[in-house]
Amino acid sequence: MELFWHRRDLRIADNVGLAAAADRGKAAGVFVFDPDVLDHASDVRVRRLLDGLAVLRDAYRDRESDLLVARGDPESVLPSLADGLDADRVVWNRDYTGLARERDAAVRRALDSAGIAREAHHDAVLHEPGSIRTNAGDPYSVYTYYWRKWTDRETDPPAATPDSADFLDAEALRAAVGAEDGASTDARTDGGVAADRVAVGDLPAPGDLGFSEADAEVGLAGTEAARDRLDAFLSEAVFAYGKDRDYPSREATSRMSAFLKYGEIGVREAYEATERAMETAESSDRPEEHVESIEEFQQQLAWREFYAQVLYHNPEVVTANYKTYEEGIEWRDDSEEIAAWKRGETGYPIVDAGMRQLREEAFMHNRVRMIVASFLTKDLLADWRHGYEHFRERLADHDTANDNGGWQWAASTGTDAQPYFRIFNPMTQGERYDPEAAYIKEYVPEMRGLDADLIHEWHELSTTQRANAAPEYPAPIVDHSERREEALEMYKRARGEDPEE
DNA sequence: AGGCTGTTTCC
DNA sequence: GAAACAGCC
């Protein structure tokens, strides 16, 4: 039999490694709660992970098998589990972040010295890091060129979905790992998975892992929810995606990010669905912009893979600037301003709406992510790492490569051919992308009774006007045009130029 | 995946 | 006087 190690691929369908394992013999699936990974987790992401694992576990149960749940260092858990199961091989799908690669190297060494075969598969992206390069053989650092090659390339079809016959049944799993029969999963109160044993289908509660219950709604988890969401999106909303995606109140985006982050849907399956939608649009009387709209959505999948390969080739950017400045950037890093940003109390309505959406829903619309990131780095002149850390804490869909790429882009330290243009005007952005202030009013209740015009002019109202309009909502904590000038000077100094010139 | 400023154009 | 545009950072 073969032991398949689930990591960021909480699904049975379109799972390349699992399909390969099941193709050769009976497979068993395991998830390992790794203390080194949990060190970087948060309440909302543990909640979201456990939700995804519960659905995965049920998918195994539907196939008369179950999900093995272990806790400990994978390099010690996996060899002993593989030995206990008498597994022929341990199989997994590659993960491209630096931490994951170090962990996987340690697991490879441990399995090799235990004499257990292992196999890693290309699954998480359509086009693996390293496979798309410039004609000179270098990795791409400019998205537009990367996209051209990405979209021209042939893609693999979805991997086969194993069925009951492909899995070791639940009884055999219990016998092999010595778990007591009928171990209950949901009503368990005795501390969850013990460190010294492997449970069969028995998932811990957040408290068992050292986390608190999430204070945000994390959204639905699992393959079926992902497919429902994608089908609904591709059947109608995607045709307006190009036109509407930047307007946060229109809910025009796919909301697939968390499903993709946890691998509850395979990227081949998702991409194939977009290709089918494209064919349908072309063969019906859809206008040209509807077809182009689908391609714009495909571009989002390409951005995900672009940043995955940036991180793969530059693992140090998790903590270091991608673009180095001669003199280094002297961030202002005012802790009270950063705290106001996190609370959603900056006095810039679109910024505060986004930060409050993040707190309530563990999600933020992507246009607003860019606005709040520009505000933190260019208006508060705070180091992007403060923002990245906060997103990592609060976003259910947090993905190291995507979030790091996005933050460094916003901070002018990332992969951007024109980094010095990226200072957003938070009022202009609010006016342009939330003209009716519908998004703002949804998340900033203090402003619900106000005219949109008044909301977009908040920064230039008098104290009296503000007190009359929305007494509970703060005045702007900084002056955008002053801070804009300061930001330009800060970057000039960082480049070693005289800010007076 | 922009914004600012000065200038021209259009009511 | 607003809106569109160009040039520039």
Give pLDDT tens digits for A215-264. 999 999 999 999 999 999 999 999 999 999 999 999 899 999 999 999 99
Contact flag, residue A303 CB and nucleic strand B, below 7 A: yes
> Is position A280 within any domain?
yes
How many angstroms separate the CA atoms of A58 and A27, rounded?
Answer: 16
Average pLDDT, rounded, for chain A: 94
pLDDT at position A188: 34
Specify whether the backbone of A333 is left (phi greater than 0), alpha (psi in -120 to 50) or beta.
Answer: left
- Find the nucleotide nearest A369 (Cα to C1′): B1
Whether the Cβ atoms of residue A17 and residue A123 lie closer than 8 Å to each other: yes
Backbone angles phi, psi at A395, to 5 degrees: -85, 130
What residues of A are designated binding site for FAD?
Answer: 241, 253-257, 297, 300-307, 397-399
Estimate in Å the CA A327 to C1' C5 gap, whole number. Answer: 37
Residues 6+ apart with CB under 8 A from A150: A126, A127, A132, A302, A305, A306
Burial of residue A390, with CB atoms counted within 10 A of its CB: 0-12 exposed, 13-18 middle, 19 or more buried: middle
R_g over Cα of chain A:
24
The model's confidence at residue A285, banded by pLDDT at 50, 70 and 90, is confident
Burial of residue A185, with CB atoms counted within 10 A of its CB: 0-12 exposed, 13-18 middle, 19 or more buried: middle
More confident residue, A35 or A416: A35
How many angstroms separate the CA atoms of A192 and A189, rounded?
Answer: 7
Estimate in Å the CA A48 to C1' B8 gap, whole number. Answer: 55
Helix (H) or strand (E) holding A98: helix A98-114
How many angstroms separate the CA atoms of A130 and A313, rounded?
Answer: 8
Residues 6+ apart with CB under 8 A from A343: A355
Footprint of strand C on the protein (CB under 7 A): A 420-421, 488
> Is position A91 within any domain?
yes
- Find the nucleotide nearest A144 (Cα to C1′): B1
Tokens 């993040």 belong to A358
Strand B: list positions under 7 Å from protein Cβ: 1-4
The verdict on A24 and A85 lying in the same domain is yes
Burial of residue A136, with CB atoms counted within 10 A of its CB: 0-12 exposed, 13-18 middle, 19 or more buried: exposed
Question: For A417-444, what is the mean pLDDT?
Answer: 93
pLDDT at position A417: 83
> Is position A209 within any domain?
no
The verdict on A380 and A422 lying in the same domain is yes
| Domain tally, chain A | 3
Sign of CA dihedral A218, A220, A222, A225: negative
Is the pLDDT at A192 greater than 70, yes or no?
no
Is the pLDDT at A414 greater than 60, yes or no?
yes
Estimate in Å the CA A427 to C1' C4 gap, whole number. Answer: 21
How many angstroms separate the CA atoms of A419 and A412, rounded?
Answer: 5
How many angstroms separate the CA atoms of A167 and A497, rounded?
Answer: 64
Estimate in Å the CA A425 to C1' B4 gap, whole number. Answer: 11
> Is position A3 within any domain?
yes
Estimate in Å the CA A420 to C1' C9 gap, whole number. Answer: 8
Question: For A414-437, what is the mean pLDDT?
Answer: 91
The model's confidence at residue A420, banded by pLDDT at 50, 70 and 90, is confident
The verdict on A60 and A95 lying in the same domain is yes
> Structure tokens of A406?
């996005």
How many angstroms separate the CA atoms of A488 and A146, rounded?
Answer: 29
Show the domain range for A470.
Answer: 335-494
The verdict on A115 and A153 lying in the same domain is no
The model's confidence at residue A179, banded by pLDDT at 50, 70 and 90, is low
For chain A residues 422-451, those near strand B by a CB cutoff of 7 A are 422-425, 428-429, 432
Estimate in Å the CA A137 to C1' C6 gap, whole number. Answer: 38
pLDDT at position A277: 96
pLDDT at position A147: 95
The verdict on A465 and A346 lying in the same domain is yes
How many angstroms separate the CA atoms of A326 and A314, rounded?
Answer: 19
Per-residue pLDDT tens over the stretch A1-14? 999 999 999 999 99
Is the pLDDT at A46 greater than 90, yes or no?
yes
pLDDT at position A186: 37
The verdict on A292 and A371 lying in the same domain is no
Residue nearest the C1' of B1 (CA based) = A370
Is the pLDDT at A310 greater than 80, yes or no?
yes
Return the number of other C-beta atoms located less than 10 Å from residue A500's C-beta.
6
Is the pLDDT at A501 greater than 90, yes or no?
no
For chain A residues 459-478, those near strand B by a CB cutoff of 7 A are none
> Is position A402 within any domain?
yes
How many angstroms separate the CA atoms of A167 and A120, rounded?
Answer: 19
> Is position A321 within any domain?
no
Question: For A297-323, what is the mean pLDDT?
Answer: 96
Helix (H) or strand (E) holding A462: none
CATH number where A398 lies: 1.10.579.10
The verdict on A17 and A102 lying in the same domain is yes
Which string of b and e fits A159-184 if b means at least 16 CB within 10 Å? Answer: bbbbeeebbbbbebbbebbebeeeee
The verdict on A305 and A362 lying in the same domain is no
Is the pLDDT at A93 greater than 80, yes or no?
yes
**DSSP label of A446:** G
CATH number where A108 lies: 3.40.50.620
Backbone angles phi, psi at A70, to 5 degrees: -120, 165
Per-residue pLDDT tens over the stretch A121-164? 999 999 999 999 999 999 999 999 999 999 999 999 999 999 99
β-strands A27-33, A117-121 pairing? unpaired
pLDDT at position A499: 78
pLDDT above 90 as % of chain A:
90
Per-residue pLDDT tens over the stretch A325-377? 999 999 999 999 999 999 999 999 999 999 999 999 999 999 999 999 999 99
Whole-prediction pTM: 0.95
Burial of residue A460, with CB atoms counted within 10 A of its CB: 0-12 exposed, 13-18 middle, 19 or more buried: exposed
> Structure tokens of A173?
């799993």
> Structure tokens of A447?
């402003």
pLDDT at position A500: 76
The verdict on A145 and A70 lying in the same domain is no
> Is position A35 within any domain?
yes
- Find the nucleotide nearest A423 (Cα to C1′): B2
How many angstroms separate the CA atoms of A501 and A310, rounded?
Answer: 34
Specify whether the backbone of A302 is left (phi greater than 0), alpha (psi in -120 to 50) or beta.
Answer: alpha
How many angstroms separate the CA atoms of A415 and A348, rounded?
Answer: 28
CATH number where A230 lies: 1.25.40.80
Give the residue from A123, A139, A172 where a domain finishes. Answer: A123
How many angstroms separate the CA atoms of A21 and A91, rounded?
Answer: 7
- Find the nucleotide nearest A242 (Cα to C1′): B1
Estimate in Å the CA A294 to C1' B8 gap, whole number. Answer: 38
Q: Cα dihedral angle (A210, A197, A10, A91), rounded to 10 degrees?
A: 130
